[in-house]
Amino acid sequence: MAETNKVLDVAGVSKRFGANEVLSDVSLQVDKGETVCVLGPSGSGKSTLLRCINWLERPDAGQIYLNGERVGINNAGIVMGDRDLSKIRTRIGMVFQHFALWPHLTVLQNLMEAPVQVQRRPKAEVRDEALALLAKVGLSEKCDAFPARLSGGQKQRVGVARALAMRPDLLLFDEPTSALDPELVGEVLVVMRELAHEGMTMVIVTHEMAFARDAATRVLFLDRGKAVETGSPEKFFSNPETERARQFIQRYAGDVAGGRR
């Protein structure tokens, strides 16, 4: 692994909410073009890990680097102010469990908002790129619709396109299909698979085991806030190192074996 290829470096991150230690000394390196699926039972700290990466949650300890640049702490070792933090967040896209589209803006406006307002790119260029992204996620005809008119699967595809419109170096997915009706999960996973194929660097928190097995380049298994295991999906699913992982996989065995999605 060449040092220059490393997009994300999470080094020993810990986070507690009150007496509850949600993450304890979790580390994760992600190379350019990797798709890392973060797996684990509910409450294992997966979402918190993701939210610490872009500092929506402030880690109590540990460091996070994006392309070698420290996230959240500036060169003087002080916690970044809103402006510095905002700047670095423009390079980390995030897709939310409940889509989090802005309902007062049309689909196209949702995509254009940040590139125009934050990156100050020319409107015409952003518009063309946004339309291309909507075409890519199969929603060209919905560009002038408001989010309330979309199905869950369509909303989430817009959510992905909105994140991509910023041309991020890294894309974070926080259980992107958990809030969807089962028949709508597939259309979102198709888009994610395509991104993985194109070499987008992604960290995906998910319960879609079949997707993790097929699309991930690597799997990180969290349990009770600890990074228990990491490795290729083939190895993780067929021959896990730990008893906890084995139990976890067994519970989802039907899902994987069936390869339903």
Partner 1 sequence: MSAADIAAIFQGAIVTITLSAIGILIGLPIGLGLALIRWADVPVLGRIVALYVSMLRATPLVTLLLLLFFALPNIGVPMSPVSAAILGLVMSTSAFNCEVWRSALMNFPKDQYEAAQSVGMNAGQRFRRIVLPQIVPVSLPGLVNEMSLLIKVTPVLAVVGVVDITRAAVRIGAQTYEPLPPFLVAIAIYVPIVFALVSLQRWIERRQTRAEALA
What residue ranges bind partner 1 (CB under 8 A)?
54, 56, 82-83, 86-94, 96-98, 100-104, 106, 113-114, 117-119, 144-146, 148-149, 162-163, 166
User: For partner 1, which is the closer residue by CB, 18 or 103?
Assistant: 103
What's the min distance (Å) between Cβ of 94 and partner 1? Answer: 4
Choice between 4 and 104, CB closer to partner 1: 104
Minimum gap (Å) between residue 2 Cβ and partner 1 = 28
C-beta separation of 8 from 65 below 8 A: yes
Tokens of 200: 């987008």
Residues ≥6 apart with Cβ < 8 Å to 215: 35, 37, 189, 192, 193, 196
Q: Which two structure tokens, joined as six digits, stand for 118?
A: 């934050």
Strand-strand pairing, 202-205 and 218-223 = unpaired
C-beta separation of 191 from 157 below 8 A: yes
Give whichever of 45 and 240 is closer to partner 1, judged by the CB atom.
45
Shortest CB 236 distance to partner 1, Å: 28
The neighbour count for residue 7, using CB atoms within 10 Å, is 21
Closest to partner 1 by CB, 8 vs 228, is 8
**For residues 95 and 228, which CB has a smaller minimum distance to partner 1 in the complex?**
95
Closest approach of Cβ 119 to partner 1, in Å?
8
Smallest gap from Cβ 113 to partner 1, in A, equals: 7
Q: Decide: helix, strand or coil at residue 87.
A: helix
Taking the C-alpha atoms of residue 76 and residue 235, their distance in angstroms, rounded to an integer, is 42
